[in-house]
Amino acid sequence: MNLAYSAEYERFRTEVRRFLGEHWNEAPSGAADSIADLTGAHVRTDARATAFRLLAIERGYLYRHVPRRYGGSEQPGDPLKSTIIAEEFRRARAPFEIMGQGPSMLVPTLLEHGTEAQKERFIRDTLLGTIRWCQGYSEPGAGSDLASLRTRAVLDDGHWVVNGQKIWTSNAREAEWMFALVRTEPEKAKHDGISYLLIEMNTPGIDVRPLRQMTGDADFNEVFLENARVPADNIVGRRGQGWVVSRSTLKHERALIGGAHLTRRTFDGLVMLAQAVERGGRPVIQDPVIRNRLAELEARLVAAEYHGYRLLTLSARGNDHGLGGMVTKLYSTTLGYDIAKLAMDVVGDRGLLAPGEPNAPAMGMFGLAYMWSLGVLIAGGAANIQRNIIAERGLGLPRDARK
C-alpha cells in the first residue's frame, strides 16, 4: 500500500504552507492550547482570527463545500486537498474552520434543506462565528429514542407557538439561536409528526438553566419554552418532515465527533506522560504492564487511522461510505476513553486533582480528558445505539427487540 501523496498534492501542500507562513505567525500558547484541543472548547473568533479566516476563504482553503454567495470558498470536492489543508493549519495552529454545532451541523443541513432566504440570512455569519447555535433535540424521556420528543409547536397567526422542554443543550447560554425539533402533528406516527425550527434564544418565553457536570463546568443546560413565538418561516424543510432534516444534522454531528487525528494527539500526550511520571524511582513507561497497554492502544489507533484513509479513498472516488462514519465515531470515542483511562492509571490519585491545582499532573489535563471522554461516548448517539445500528444495518444481524 502506498500512502504517499502524489507530486501534485505535495505541491499543493507547499502552497498551503507558504500561505500560512506569510499570514499566520502567532506562537501557540502551549498547555492551554492542548487542553483546548482535547475538549474542543476554545475557538478563536477575535478580529485577527476572523480577518485571517476571510483571507483563507478567499484563497479557497476553508469551507470549500460552501458556495461563495453564502460565505464559503466553493472549491471542487477533493478530500485529499481538504486533508492537507487541515493537517497544515493544525500544524501551524492557525484558525481553522469553526467546528461548532452551527458551522459543522446546521450549515450542511441548511445547504441541503434550507430556503434561499435561510441560507442567505444564516450561513455566512455562522461560518465566521458571529451567530452561535445550540442544538435543541434531546428532552427528558427522549434521548436515544429521540422521536418520542414532546415539545409542541402550534401555528397561530403567522407564528409557531412553542411549549416544552429541552435538556443537555450544550452552549445554550452563549448561543444566539437554536435549531430544534418540535412536534407539530401530534396525531401522526411519531417520526412523521416532527418539524425542524430555528428559534432565536432571546424570544420571550425561553428560560435557560445551567446543568453542572462532573468536570465542574456547566456546558449543558435545560431550555424551557413557554408560549415562545417563532416566525412561521423559520421552519427548515416541510412541516412534518423534521425527522428527515434531523438525520442530515446527525450525520454531520458524528463526523464532527470522530476522526483519528485528535486521538493521535491525546495518545502522544499519554506516551510523554508515561515517560515523565516516575513510580518506584523509574519512569512509568518502563513498567511492562503499562508498555503492553500502550502497545495495544497504539495498534488500535493505527487501525483507526487506516480506517480513516479507507473512508478518504472511498470519498476521493466519489463513493458513499455507508455506515463508515458511524464506525469512526464509535471506534474513536471508545479508544479515546481507553487512552484517558490509562492516563489516569499512570498518574494515580493525583489525576483526581482539578485543572489549575498546583500539584495536578499536566495541569489536570488528563483528568479532564477522562471525564470528557465519557461524555463523547454518549453525545450524538450513545455507543450502545451505534452498535445496534452498525450490527443491524451494516452487518445484517437480526434486529434488536423493539418496545
Q: Which of 253, 296, 298, 392 is catalytic?
A: 253
203 binds ligand FAD, rule: CB under 6 A: no
- Contact segment (CB under 6 A) with ligand FAD among 5-13, 26-34, 135-143, 233-241 equals 135-143
Distance from C-alpha of 98 to C-alpha of 42, rounded to nearest angstrom: 10
- Contact segment (CB under 6 A) with ligand FAD among 44-52, 235-243, 324-332, 380-388 equals 380-388
CB 18 to ligand FAD: min, Å: 38
- Contact segment (CB under 6 A) with ligand FAD among 186-194, 287-295, 329-337, 373-381 equals 373-381
CB 101 to ligand FAD: min, Å: 6
Which of 177, 192, 190, 188 is closest to 141 using CA atoms?
190
Using CB under 6 A, which of 50, 73, 118, 170 touches ligand FAD?
170
Contact status, residue 329 vs residue 254, Cβ threshold 8 Å = yes
378 binds ligand FAD, rule: CB under 6 A: yes
276 binds ligand FAD, rule: CB under 6 A: no
Q: Is 305 a residue of the active site?
A: no
144 binds ligand FAD, rule: CB under 6 A: yes
Closer of 292 and 384 to ligand FAD (Cβ): 384
CB 358 to ligand FAD: min, Å: 28
Look up residue 313 and give its three cell numbers. Answer: 479513498
151 binds ligand FAD, rule: CB under 6 A: no
CB 38 to ligand FAD: min, Å: 13
337 binds ligand FAD, rule: CB under 6 A: no
196 binds ligand FAD, rule: CB under 6 A: no
89 binds ligand FAD, rule: CB under 6 A: no
Closer of 296 and 400 to ligand FAD (Cβ): 400
- Which positions are catalytic? 253
Binding site for ligand FAD (CB under 6 A): 134-138, 143-144, 168-170, 375, 378-379, 381-382, 384-385, 388
